[in-house]
Chains A and B, each alone.
Chain A
Amino acid sequence: MPPETRTTAASGRQQGAAPDVIHNIGYRTYDGPRLGRGYARRSLYAQSLRGAYGLGRSAKSKVMPMILFGVMCLPAAIVVAVAVSTKMNKLPMEYTRYAIWLQLVIGLYLAAQAPQSVSRDLRFRTVPLYFSRPIERVDYVVAKFAAMASALFVLTATPLLILYVGALLAKMDFAVQTKGFAYGLASVTLLSLFYAGIGLVVAALTPRRGFGVAAVIAVLTIPYGAVSTIQNIALASDNIRAVEWLGLFSPITLIDGVQTAFLSATSAFPDGHGPGTGAGTVYLLVVLALIAGSYGLLMRRYRKAGL
């Protein structure tokens, strides 16, 4: 405890402020600006987004997100390198297909970072400190949601950008590539929002980080495995309509269905039997409802987490 604060300040004055006196300025009040809720929300967003890549945290916590980011971008770089050197006139894969192809990496990233973002605050009970400040529950949830979605967007859109730049360098058709890139971006935007919602809801259920990681992986992969298996059985029994609708029951097939219907993507469903526009509308509505639902669930989760 510094006992010297006031006394030295006072005695410094008494000595007529000799030039070599070290002034202890004591307690200083703050009269500067207080930027309020909006600023606090933006700060929390920035902090959470940086945290999702380990920036501003320990070196150890940078390892996982950076490796996954590298793994995500590497195939795009290889594709571009091959396309440029062999002078292809079209990329060997669609933009919209890239995230589906690397869904495992996205899933791992989400499983690692969503608990990091929300479980820590719950586990170490930092949440009450936030709510004793100008920001409110909605600010906290929106900032965390937006940060997670942005982190996923950076993860999924960067390889698309690499592909796009590479395609233009290889002098492929500009209009076709731009359209494909735009569709790809639309698809990963939806995927980022959707995955962020799922990941945060699951992670916010438990203050234990390990459980959170396992639960996120389970929620993403188990339905996918189940849906794929049943789809293949349905295909074997020539039930094409079942293949089309079964995709509603796992996160990645939902995204696949939406982009097949609206973003002229080739479906990854068995034998390419993706949903048409009619079924696609249902897919889109389900995705939007799930995004809204996860936001609602997060709001509910934090109602009790206050002081």
Chain B
Amino acid sequence: MIATESLSKRYPRVTALDRLSVDITPGVTGLVGANGAGKSTLIKILLGLSPATEGSARVLGLDVATQGAEIRERVGYMPEHDCLPPDVSATEFVVHMARMSGLPPAAARERTADTLRHVGLYEERYRPMGGYSTGMKQRVKLAQALVHDPHLVLLDEPTNGLDPVGRDEMLALIRRVHTDFGISVLVTSHLLGELERTCDHVVVIDGGRLLRSSSTEEFTQATGSLAVEVTDTDACPDGTSALLAALAAAGLETRPAGRAADGSPASGRVLLVDVAGESTYDIVRDAVADLGLGLVRMEQRRHRIAEVFRDDDGEHPAATGQAPAPAWGADWRKASGTDREQQNGGTVDAA
């Protein structure tokens, strides 16, 4: 779908993209980066609107430098900002945009009706867009990107400004764009949790450089660590520290989970144990049994995409110039205990 080869974009004072090489396959791909990471510069180059300083990029097998018009005919783009004139109806607007993409008048009208129905706009599509809610506006913006049946859509922050329900609906819609419509999607976001649910593949860029590009499963795979929580007994008034001592004596790398990123106090009682092998589970079990403690839970910890970023207070991998994905599993405080995946009841599947 998209392939870039040491793509760079330099402005007189800023380097927006720095030798970026990624290969994006069909499916839903998330593009993650903080503001100013180079996301919109990349989109601009991919649409053939801005020449790269060096390197090359191909979209749908077409060269962005020379075949921009052909690319834009087959690609849809949904901008991050508002782009809807308030005094026309969604139907008129999308029909006009369809014609701007080269669809003949009759086809433009037919596809507009279809597309607006698919994004979930019904009777209100005949009303001026000035009266629409944010959710409806986002749908119209998505519709205008899909109306010419592109092979690929570039969605820039499609969930911006939506409430949780609207966000879930938009994410489901994006998923459907791929599964039902067969259109590949490149979606940018700075909310990592969203991308886990929607994307097959995640590309993380920062400061114009590629931090990581891998499938969502790899991002969220089991990390080889075990969260253990035990009760206190009369014999051991502080069961957690007793177990910590016992496990350390048994030669396991163990530490308290500390306070979770979301500040949930319960996580102060959770120990994290590095899994060295199958025997680790037995050692933990035996240690708990020997101490006579009640085992509240023992579960596998999974990484979340958020962990590829370190704490917000500046220890950003790229900022310190480290190689890609150095923070893999480094930040335990971010492994919050609230994640749904973690509540699988301690199923120990050797991952």
Interface residues of A (CB under 8 A from B): 1-2, 5-6, 26-30, 32-37, 39-40, 43-44, 47, 56-58, 61, 120-121, 124-126, 128-136, 306-307
Contact = CB atoms under 8 A, between A and B. Distances in A.
Contact of B148 (A34, A57, A126, A135): A34
Q: In the complex, which of the residues B44, B97, B103, B182 has the most CB atoms of chain A within 10 Å of its own CB atom? A: B103
Interface stretch (B74-82, B232-240, B285-293): B74-82
Contact of A131 (B49, B120, B149): B49
B102 A36 contact: yes
Given A35-B102, A35-B103, A132 B47 contact: yes
6 contacts: A33-B107, A39-B104, A124-B85, A131-B49, A134-B101, A307-B44
Nearest to B147: A30
B107 A32 contact: yes
B197 interface: no
B177 to A, nearest CB: 9
B225 interface: no
B49 A307 contact: yes
A293 to B, nearest CB: 25
Interface string B249-291: 0000000000000000000000000000000000000000000
Interface in B77-103: 77, 79, 81-88, 92, 96-97, 99-103
B173 A136 contact: no
Contacts of B144: 129
Contacts of A131: 49
Nearest to B151: A29
Contact of A126 (B73, B83, B99, B169): B83
A128 B76 CA distance: 12
Q: Which 8 A-B pairs have the closest CB atoms?
A: A30-B149, A132-B77, A34-B102, A1-B120, A43-B99, A35-B102, A27-B181, A124-B85
B88 A57 contact: yes
A120 B84 CA distance: 10
A125 B43 CA distance: 17
Nearest to A37: B69
A133 B72 contact: yes
Nearest to B108: A43
Interface in B160-198: 169, 172-173, 180-182
Interface stretch (B110-118, B210-218, B306-314): B110-118
Interface string B134-163: 000000000010001100000000000000
A125 B69 contact: no
A125 B82 contact: yes
Interface string B214-245: 00000000000000000000000000000000
Contacts of A26: 180
Contacts of A130: 100
A29 B49 CA distance: 26
B40 interface: yes
Contacts of A5: 118, 180
Contact of B100 (A27, A44, A58, A124): A44
Given A34-B101, A34-B102, A35-B102, A1 B172 contact: yes
Contacts of B149: 29-30
Contacts of A34: 73, 101-103, 148
A243 B173 CA distance: 69
Given A129-B100, A131-B49, A134-B100, 16 more contacts: A6-B180, A30-B111, A30-B148, A32-B107, A37-B69, A121-B85, A124-B84, A124-B85, A126-B83, A129-B79, A132-B77, A133-B73, A133-B102, A306-B50, A307-B47, A307-B50
Given A29-B149, A134-B101, A2 B72 contact: no
Interface string B310-342: 000000000000000000000000000000000
Nearest to A43: B99
A121 B88 CA distance: 12
A288 B100 CA distance: 31
Given A120-B85, A124-B83, A129 B97 contact: yes
A5 B120 CA distance: 11
Contacts of B114: 27-28
A27 B180 contact: yes
A132 B153 CA distance: 11
A30 B118 CA distance: 15
A2 B104 CA distance: 27
Q: In the complex, which of the residues A40, A120, A134 has the most CB atoms of chain B within 10 Å of its own CB atom? A: A134
B176 to A, nearest CB: 8
Given A32-B107, A128-B79, A39 B102 contact: yes
A35 B92 CA distance: 19
B83 A129 contact: yes
A36 B84 contact: no
B44 A133 contact: no
Given A129-B79, A307-B44, A2 B120 contact: yes
Nearest to B149: A30
A2 B88 contact: no
Given A30-B107, A36-B73, A125 B81 contact: yes
B197 to A, nearest CB: 16
A30 B73 contact: no
